[in-house]
Amino acid sequence: MLSPTDRVPVCGRFAPSPSGRMHLGNLFCAFLAWLCARSENGRFVLRIEDLDTGRCRREYAQILEDDLRRLGLDWDEGGSAGGANGPYFQSECSALYTEALELLRTKAHVYPCFCSRADLHAASAPHRSDGTVLYSGRCRSLSPKEAEARMQQRRPALRIEVPNAAYGFTDARLGAYCQNLARDCGDFILRRSDGVFAYQLAVVVDDARMGVTQVVRGEDLLSSTPRQIYLQKLLGLRTPEYFHIPLLVNEQGVRLSKREKSLDAGALFARFTPQELTGWLAYLAGQLPRPEACTPQELCTVFCRSKVPADSIIVPDALLNGQ
């Protein structure tokens, strides 16, 4: 434990991908990340994760900022407001990611991978716990000559070899979590074959350069965290505190999908005032016994992390269908 004197000032962040209008799950994540940081008098950063330029759009980032403000959430730096630790749009950070990639090449085995999607999904391919395919290591031992020859045919992705070793951390909600990287994760991609840097690399570089000390995000990203810790260690970066928040599910226990139109920010703001919506978010987060209208600011003083539910959160029909 850190003593009060060597505590680093808290800095939280919200890191959405602007690939469409936010939905209830994104608002819930932004709300909790904001509350975690602000209730500790921390800074708050908005980072736009628009690496996938095919899916992400600037207009969506603008709407996203408007929706956050409408809900009553603010941030000290990032998004279109900029700040001292920019750029805050990942699409503008290629030089920084290239630099990190070059450093990783000196610390670990980073190699070109020519496998096609079909190669990766070969029938026998083992799967990770999150259902994605565990890489077989097929291109790991290509000789420089072979790799050179293949490069004439297709542009490779870049992968990093992972050790047969455990990487773990203590999640602020879920407790100890650990993966043996070779067994549970496999060599993973740092840069895709189309030149787009991978989320795993970008998130590590950006959280560090923005001084982020606490990462609050959906539990679906829990299994990414050991990979990120591995990269942090190789790059000599500090590991932030992680708080993975529960997923929102419907009454049947199925994760709410982005396609659920009644739950996109536009539909929610059409049915609820910002204060009513905040009341719902606070209720889902275990902070209020009933969904009573309030502001994020009012919740700051009463916010208690340990009240955030341990299991997935069932979104009641009243919120799904709105009245």
Interacting residue ranges for ligand GLU, rule: CB under 6 A: 15-17, 49, 203, 217, 221
Q: Say if residues 64 and 14 touch (Cβ distance below 8 Å).
A: no
Task: Between 35 and 113, name the residue whose CB sits nearer to ligand GLU.
Answer: 35
> Measured from the CB atom, is 62 or 297 closer to ligand GLU?
62
Min dist. Cβ of residue 137 to ligand GLU (A): 26
Q: Measured from the CB atom, is 16 or 112 closer to ligand GLU?
A: 16
Half-sphere exposure of 76 (CA within 13 A, CB side): 17
- CA–CA distance, 101 with 148 (Å, rounded to integer): 19
**Cβ proximity of 139 and 157 under 8 Å:** no
Radius of gyration of the chain (CA): 21
**Min. distance of Cβ 37 from ligand GLU in angstroms?**
13
The residues that bridge with 166 in the sheet, in sequence order, are: 180
Q: 19 or 262, CB closer to ligand GLU?
A: 19
Q: How far is the CB of 17 from ligand GLU (least distance, A)?
A: 4
Closer Cβ to ligand GLU, 86 or 218, answer by number? 218
Nearer of residues 20 and 86 to ligand GLU, judged by Cβ? 20
Backbone angles phi, psi at 179, to 5 degrees: -135, 145
Q: How far is the CB of 199 from ligand GLU (least distance, A)?
A: 7
Closest approach of Cβ 21 to ligand GLU, in Å? 13
What's the min distance (Å) between Cβ of 16 and ligand GLU? 5
